[in-house]
């Protein structure tokens, strides 16, 4: 996914259509990213050629196989990422992180796609079995609890106020207001 400015100048009056596949399995393995498998990324969109810059409107689709945060089973996680990136010739033209400097007058989408997908990988995913809260793991002297279950347990453990003495609680609040 690399084009020179001279190739793209032909498309100044119209947009250059992108429909490419990129295999990023090696990228994830080399960078020690916890992606067990990755389908080839389908990159679609268009390059809009301007006199001083090239704008890329991209859509990236694919699937990752990630470990479940509870069971470590494989979870297939589909993704679709939309991005607009701009390529310029010099560092002085860069306005923010979505702007990239062309190297040797080449628009290279591969490192941009890698970076965009890297930040989209979720920290945790859960398999269907792990989402079934009725079968939380437990051991000899421990058990896993959900936040909701833990909150309900704490509420049940709170000391109950004798209904005959409930009126006394209001007495102290009235005294503070005076």
Query: Poorest-confidence range of 23-37, 39-53, 64-78, 92-106?
Result: 92-106
pLDDT beyond 70 at 9 = yes
List, in order, residues 6 or more apart from 101 with CB less than 8 Å away.
87, 88, 89, 90, 91, 93, 94
Per-range mean pLDDT, top range of 62-76, 118-132, 161-175: 62-76
Per-residue pLDDT, 57: 92
pLDDT beyond 70 at 152 = yes
**Pairwise pLDDT comparison (42 vs 72), residue with the higher score:** 42
Per-residue pLDDT, 69: 84
Beta-sheet strands, E only, within the chain: 2-4, 16-22, 37-38, 41-49, 53-67, 74-88, 99-101, 106-108
Average of per-residue pLDDT values in the chain: 82
The C-alpha atoms of residue 9 and residue 11 are separated, in whole angstroms, by 5
The C-alpha atoms of residue 37 and residue 148 are separated, in whole angstroms, by 33
Q: In which band, very low, low, confident or very high, does the pLDDT at 167 lie, cut at 50, 70 and 90?
A: confident
Per-residue pLDDT, 177: 56
Per-range mean pLDDT, top range of 4-13, 73-82, 85-94, 167-176: 73-82
The C-alpha atoms of residue 60 and residue 76 are separated, in whole angstroms, by 16
| Alpha-carbon torsion (20, 111, 81, 26), positive or negative | positive
Q: Residues 78-133: pLDDT tens digits?
A: 999 999 988 888 766 667 677 787 788 888 888 889 889 988 989 888 888 766 66
Q: What mean pLDDT comes out for the span 13-36?
A: 84
Q: What mean pLDDT comes out for the span 66-82?
A: 89
Helices (H), 2-142: 5-8, 25-30, 110-118, 128-131
User: Beta strand 99-101 with 37-38: parallel, antiparallel or unpaired?
Assistant: unpaired
- Encode 139-169: b = buried (16+ Cβ within 10 Å), e = exposed: eeeeeeeeeeeeeeeeeeeeeeeeeeeeeee
pLDDT beyond 70 at 23 = yes
Record the tokens describing residue 176, joined without a space: 């503070």
pLDDT beyond 70 at 52 = yes
């Amino acid at each position: 996914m690399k084009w020179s400015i001279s190739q793209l100048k032909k498309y100044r009056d119209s947009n250059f259509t992108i429909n490419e596949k990129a295999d990023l399995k090696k990228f994830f393995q080399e960078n020690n990213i916890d992606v067990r498998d990755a389908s080839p990324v389908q990159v679609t969109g268009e390059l809009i050629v301007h006199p001083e810059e090239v704008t890329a409107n991209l859509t990236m689709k694919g699937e990752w196989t990630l470990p479940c945060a509870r069971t470590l089973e494989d979870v297939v996680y589909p993704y679709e990422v939309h991005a607009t990136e701009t390529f310029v010739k010099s560092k002085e033209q860069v306005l923010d992180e979505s702007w990239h400097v062309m190297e040797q007058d080449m628009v290279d989408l591969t490192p941009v796609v890698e970076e965009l997908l890297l930040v989209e990988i979720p920290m945790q995913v859960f398999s269907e079995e792990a989402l079934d809260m009725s079968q939380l793991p437990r051991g000899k002297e421990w058990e896993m609890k959900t936040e909701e279950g833990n909150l309900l347990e704490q509420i049940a453990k709170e000391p109950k106020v004798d209904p005959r003495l409930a009126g006394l609680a209001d007495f102290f609040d009235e005294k503070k207001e005076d």
